[in-house]
Amino acid sequence: MTNPSNPSNPSRTRDTALSAPARVPTELTTSVPGGVGSSPHRPDAALKVRGEFAFASDLWHEDMVWGVTLRSPHPHALIRSIDITDALTVPGVRAVLTHTDVPGTNRYGLERPDQPVLAEDVVRYQGEPVALVAADHPETARRAMRRIAVDYQVLDPVVDAEAVVAGAAPLLHPGGNIVRHQPIRRGDPDATAPVVVRGTYRVGMQDQAFLGPESGLAVPAPDGGVDLYVATQWLHVDQRQVAIALGLPVDRVRLTLSGVGGAFGGREDLSMQVHACLLALYTGRPVKMVYNRQESFYGHVHRHPATLRYEHGADRDGRLVYVRAEIFLDGGAYASSTPAVVANAATLGVGPYEVPNVAVDCWGVYTNNPPCGAMRGFGAVQAAFAYESQMDRLAEAVGVGPVEIRLRNAMRRGSTLPTGQVVDSAAPVAELLRRVAAKPLPPPVDPAEVDLRQLPGGVANTTHGEGVVRGVGYGVGIKNICFSEGFDDFSTARVRVEAVGGEVAATVHTAACEVGQGLVTVLQQIVRTELGVRRVSVLPMDTSIGDAGSTSASRQTYMTGGAVRAASHAVRDRLLAMAAAELGATATDLVLAGGAVLSTRDGAAVDLAALLGADAVERTAEWRHRATEAVDPVTGQGNAHVQYGFAAHRAVVDVDTELGLVRVVELACAQDVGRAMNPQAVLGQIQGGSAQGLGLAVMEEIQISAGRIRNPSFTDYLIPTVLDMPPMRIDVLELADEHAPYGLRGVGEPPTISSTPAIVAAIRAATGLALTRVPVRPEHITGT
């Protein structure tokens, strides 16, 4: 395995005396030709299919010990005392730590530092970390953990978000229980309309359910700092929070991304990062922590469960006059990214429609439920289920079809959002709807011919086609791309070109987290396109380079892609200047292509490898998108967002109304991606995102009762299997956004947003039921 501290690369040299781990992330050197717009294979694909890719849970160090976390069994309790003496007596135990051992500030949080690294005198959710153990064997650590005696005084948990908004709950945090209330006011607050539809909708708590559990390896360094190899979404925000908790300067906490087994928002917040570093510093040994699945359910935030009350007013043709809504998001015990989720649900709360009069209020609150934060779709998912359900009600009220009602109200380029922001790039909402509506419908089921595995119930011999009714439904959604509300959103990239063995080779280095989406492939493609170089390696992502921001908000191809393009341009400019001197030409007459510099004037050429000789050209670029601004706290007005993504779905379902079983027969999706940087990866995002939306529609929910998670396993929290996910028909539109690099538009989130309402609409069409809550379960169809 390649050592990550590659001495030939001065930008990555480290002064760590402890040897780096034996199994760590490696430089990705596989480089299949292909620039922007093609679909070269992932540079990590061969490693992954061989089982040789180093995921965070695969890391290994010769001297390492194992860390485990003692968590609160109670959703709300005071801690009277913690006694670790018995745990320390277990042979093989290296350290037992509590909050008194946190050397820095015992608080962290993405937007507000309100969460203790280890609980002090109170626990606010079931699963809150209370103590840590390190031992020679993970089982030894777990046994010792069970011998820590914590004396709790159990308190009643606060579990009802609406009651919190009403003020009927004891104070959970010093600043109050409302994390954020964001109103949106536009037009006439008293507008009236001849057609009015109302509804209350509910969205259950969804889990990211990434397959790779939270894990990492912390290695103590001779400088008193620590090197952390970890699966995360944002290295630098982890680094800052870990340093504060450890009381160390930021440069003593160095992070390297190890293989990430999916993220979907669930790795934005810290999990084991500080804990492993603490144990490493106390034991002087490398410490590995790997959550099991049950712990993973307690160890990361979830999608906010929501209650949404909507009223839509329209004229008799179904054109929207007003939308009024109240949205309640349960943020659970700590703030996490609740403020930003509130902003999304509020500002995108009416959907991709033109609405002249808007009054939306969205609250995110503290309770003693599990903390909620980022998950793919981030506030837009909850709102979309409500506003799309409302659009179907409106269609029925005015007597037009579901596609027609949406076409009559669809926003377009130039439309004004409820925030007052004008949409200044393509917004092909109507085109996306027309495309999914125009696709041929799958043939009806013939019970005599069909494979039972293609009927509701799958392999359970459940339905033989009798009593099965078909339904078709539509959904369309809107998502902001990149960070909003005035956040200084930027990314950093370094590109280096040198001759290796007579061939010119490029290396790209960023801190942007590859979590599975294929960013590493796209970065290679960009460098190939910009520099005309075939061989491009991707260095492990780490904090030795500047911040790249989070792998979230569908932003990394936009942001780090933009940064890599900018760095490539700087490298290109230097190479052309070198070539101009060599050829006696002017740089503006020269281009890079095929590993050479060519003159467009006289065809003269110089080979890049020869031009470089023993030298390397390396440039670092920091790149920002257009500035945004905060929305007004009272009116919600402001240019909060930089870009929008749109997707539309048509769902076809078969429903066994007797047994309450749903089979999604087909999903059609149309999405505008601005520019398909890697068409195969774009399809993968649409298919995977749609599957997560399907999960929310018909099966996925963390069951909470009295603040406790009741299904923290993959037996009890169900995600779609290959038998649940139907074939998809996909149209990818490429309407360039002139403000974005390559015209691209973030891809990852929109398909997750619109698939859920489309599927539920299809079930409603099949059954005639109201179905105001997701997930829809058999009992909601059969009645009880």
Partner 1 sequence: MNPFEYRRATDVAEAVAAVAERPDAVFLGGGTNLVDHLKLGVTRPGRLVDITRLPLDRVEPLPGGGVRVGANVRNSDLAAEPVIRSRYPVLAQALLSGASGQLRNLATTGGNLLQRTRCVYFQDITTPCNKRMPGSGCAALDGYTRHHAVLGASPQCVAVHPSDMAVALAALDAVVRTHGPAGQRAIPLVEFHRLPGAQPERDTVLDHGELITAVDLPAVPATRRSAYRKVRDRASYAFALVSVAAEVELRDGEISQARIAFGGLAHKPWRAQRAEQVLRGAPATAATFQRAAEAELVGAQPLADNAFKVPLARNTLVSVLTELTELTGATEPTQEDTP
Partner 2 sequence: MIVRVNVTVNGEQCQADDVWPGESLLYLLRERLGLPGAKNACEQGECGSCTVYLDGVLVCACLVAAGQAQGRQVRTVEGLADGAELDPVQQAFVETGAVQCGFCTPGLVVAAHDLLNRVDRPTDPEIREALAGNLCRCTGYEKILEAVRLAASRRNPGGRPGEAAEGESR
Region 506-545 residues binding partner 2, contact defined as CB under 8 A: 515-518
Q: Which is nearer to partner 2, 212 or 428 (CB)?
A: 212
Q: Decide: is 5 part of the binding site for partner 2 (CB under 8 A).
A: no
Q: Decide: is 174 part of the binding site for partner 2 (CB under 8 A).
A: no
Query: How far is it, in rounded angstroms, from Cα 779 to Cα 698?
Result: 11
Q: Which does 505 bind (CB under 5 to 8 A by kind): partner 1, partner 2, none?
A: none
DSSP structure string for 610-677: HHHTT-EEEEEEEEEPPP--PPPTTT--S---SEEEEEEEEEEEEEETTTTEEEEEEEEEEEE-SS-S
- Using the contact rule CB under 8 A, the part of the chain among 44-52, 501-509, 527-535, 554-562 near partner 2 is 44-52
Q: Contact at 8 Å (CB) between 12 and 6? A: yes
Query: How far is it, in rounded angstroms, from Cα 360 to Cα 181?
Result: 10
Smallest distance from the beta carbon of 78 to partner 1, in angstroms? 18
| Interface characters, 118-157, with partner 2 (x: CB under 8 A) | -------------------x-x------------------
Q: 296: Cβ–Cβ under 8 A, 6 or more apart, which residues?
A: 213, 214
Q: Which does 779 bind (CB under 5 to 8 A by kind): partner 1, partner 2, none?
A: partner 1
Smallest distance from the beta carbon of 658 to partner 2, in angstroms? 23
CA distances from 462 to 161, 380, 450, 656, 782 (A): 39, 35, 13, 9, 15
Q: Contact at 8 Å (CB) between 625 and 482? A: yes
Residue with tokens 């090197």: 227
Residue with tokens 């396109």: 529
Q: Decide: is 699 part of the binding site for partner 2 (CB under 8 A).
A: no
Query: How far is it, in rounded angstroms, from Cα 8 to Cα 33?
Result: 25
Query: How far is it, in rounded angstroms, from Cα 421 to Cα 429?
Result: 17
Of 78, 241, 308, give the one whose Cα is nearest residue 172: 78
- Using the contact rule CB under 8 A, the part of the chain among 242-250, 307-315, 682-690, 760-768 near partner 2 is 682-690
Q: Which is nearer to partner 2, 23 or 202 (CB)?
A: 23
Q: Which is nearer to partner 1, 3 or 292 (CB)?
A: 292
Q: Which is nearer to partner 1, 407 or 450 (CB)?
A: 450
Q: Decide: is 634 part of the binding site for partner 2 (CB under 8 A).
A: no
Q: Which is nearer to partner 2, 44 or 330 (CB)?
A: 44
Q: Decide: is 735 part of the binding site for partner 2 (CB under 8 A).
A: no
Q: Decide: is 714 part of the binding site for partner 2 (CB under 8 A).
A: yes
SS3 state of residue 331: coil
Q: How many CB atoms lie within 10 A of CB 438?
A: 12
Q: Which is nearer to partner 1, 79 or 321 (CB)?
A: 79
Q: Decide: is 292 part of the binding site for partner 2 (CB under 8 A).
A: yes
Region 750-779 residues binding partner 2, contact defined as CB under 8 A: none
Q: Which is nearer to partner 1, 105 or 294 (CB)?
A: 294
Q: Decide: is 684 part of the binding site for partner 2 (CB under 8 A).
A: yes
Query: How far is it, in rounded angstroms, from Cα 287 to Cα 61?
Result: 9
Query: How far is it, in rounded angstroms, from Cα 766 to Cα 652?
Result: 9
First to last CA, the chain: 59
Smallest distance from the beta carbon of 294 to partner 2, in angstroms? 8
Smallest distance from the beta carbon of 687 to partner 2, in angstroms? 3
Q: Which is nearer to partner 2, 42 or 625 (CB)?
A: 42
Q: Which is nearer to partner 2, 58 or 672 (CB)?
A: 58
Q: Which does 679 bind (CB under 5 to 8 A by kind): partner 1, partner 2, none?
A: partner 2
- Three-class secondary structure assignment of 29-42: CCCCCCCCCCCCCC
Smallest distance from the beta carbon of 76 to partner 1, in angstroms? 15
Q: Which is nearer to partner 1, 141 or 158 (CB)?
A: 141
Q: Which is nearer to partner 1, 2 or 713 (CB)?
A: 713
Q: Decide: is 688 part of the binding site for partner 2 (CB under 8 A).
A: yes
For 730, half-sphere exposure in the C-beta direction (CA atoms, 13 angstrom radius) is: 22
Of 480, 539, 486, give the one whose Cα is nearest residue 509: 539
Q: 625: Cβ–Cβ under 8 A, 6 or more apart, which residues?
A: 482, 489, 558, 559, 562, 642, 643, 739, 740
Cis, bond preceding 775 (omega within 30 deg of 0): yes
Smallest distance from the beta carbon of 635 to partner 2, in angstroms? 39
Q: Decide: is 286 part of the binding site for partner 2 (CB under 8 A).
A: no
Smallest distance from the beta carbon of 647 to partner 1, in angstroms? 24
Q: Which does 466 bind (CB under 5 to 8 A by kind): partner 1, partner 2, none?
A: partner 1
Q: Decide: is 679 part of the binding site for partner 2 (CB under 8 A).
A: yes
Q: Which is nearer to partner 2, 17 or 49 (CB)?
A: 49
Q: Decide: is 302 part of the binding site for partner 2 (CB under 8 A).
A: no
Q: Which does 540 bind (CB under 5 to 8 A by kind): partner 1, partner 2, none?
A: none
Of 696, 763, 725, give the one whose Cα is nearest residue 208: 696
Tell which one of 666, 672, 701, 749 touches partner 2 (CB under 8 A).
666
Q: Which amino acid belongs to residue 328?
A: F
Q: Which does 687 bind (CB under 5 to 8 A by kind): partner 1, partner 2, none?
A: partner 2
CA distances from 429 to 644, 649, 668 (A): 11, 11, 15
Residues 374, 328, 702: CA angle, nearest 5 degrees: 55
Q: Decide: is 711 part of the binding site for partner 2 (CB under 8 A).
A: no
Q: Which does 143 bind (CB under 5 to 8 A by kind): partner 2, partner 1, none?
A: partner 1
Q: Which does 58 bind (CB under 5 to 8 A by kind): partner 1, partner 2, none?
A: partner 2
Q: Decide: is 687 part of the binding site for partner 2 (CB under 8 A).
A: yes
- Using the contact rule CB under 8 A, the part of the chain among 57-65, 525-533, 591-599, 608-616 near partner 2 is 57-65
Tell which one of 78, 149, 154, 211 touches partner 2 (CB under 8 A).
211
Q: Which long-range contacts (CB under 8 A, 24 or more apart) does 780-783 make?
A: 780/660, 781/655, 781/657, 781/660, 781/661, 781/662, 782/657, 782/658, 782/659, 782/660
Q: Which does 699 bind (CB under 5 to 8 A by kind): partner 2, partner 1, none?
A: partner 1
Of 746, 333, 334, give the one whose Cα is nearest residue 557: 746
Contacts with partner 1 by CB under 8 A lie at 73, 139, 142-143, 292, 294, 453, 457-464, 466-467, 658-661, 663, 698-699, 703, 705-706, 710-711, 713, 715-716, 718, 720-721, 723-724, 777-779, 782-784
Put the strands of the sheet holding 596-599 in their side by side order.
Answer: 590-593, 596-599, 605-607
Q: Which is nearer to partner 2, 666 or 672 (CB)?
A: 666
The two tokens of residue 529 are 């396109």
Query: How far is it, in rounded angstroms, from Cα 347 to Cα 376?
Result: 17
Q: Which does 706 bind (CB under 5 to 8 A by kind): partner 1, partner 2, none?
A: partner 1
Q: Which is nearer to partner 2, 484 or 557 (CB)?
A: 557
Q: Contact at 8 Å (CB) between 9 and 2? A: no
Query: How far is it, in rounded angstroms, from Cα 156 to Cα 153?
Result: 10
Q: Which does 689 bind (CB under 5 to 8 A by kind): partner 2, partner 1, none?
A: partner 2
Region 190-209 residues binding partner 2, contact defined as CB under 8 A: 208-209
Q: Which amino acid belongs to residue 603?
A: G
Q: Which does 24 bind (CB under 5 to 8 A by kind): partner 1, partner 2, none?
A: none
Q: Which is nearer to partner 2, 471 or 720 (CB)?
A: 720
Q: In DSSP terms, which residues pair with 182 in a beta bridge?
A: 362
DSSP structure string for 243-287: HHHHT--GGGEEEEE-B----TTTTSS-SSHHHHHHHHHHHSS-E
Query: How far is it, in rounded angstroms, from Cα 723 to Cα 732?
Result: 25
Q: Decide: is 28 part of the binding site for partner 2 (CB under 8 A).
A: no
